Structure 1
Amino acid sequence: MNVGDELPPLEVRVTREQLVRYAGAALDFNPIHWNERFAKEVGLPDVIAHGMLTMALAGRIVSDWLGDPTRLVDFSARFTRPVVVPDDAEGALVAMTGKVGAISDDGVARVDLVVKFDGKTVLGKPQALVRA
Structure 2
Amino acid sequence: MTKPKLLIVDDDERFCLLMTTRLKTHANCISTTDGKEALLLFEHHLREGQPFHAVLMDIEMPDMDGHQVVQQMRKIERSNGVDPLHSFKLVMLTAHSDVKNVSKSFFRNGADAYVPKAEADSSLLEKLREIGITTQ
Give your verdict on TM over 0.5: no
Largest Rg, 1 or 2: 1
Q: Under TM normalisation by the shorter chain, which class is it?
A: under 0.3
Superposition TM-score, scaled by structure 2 size: 0.25
| Between structures 1 and 2, the one with greater helix share | 2
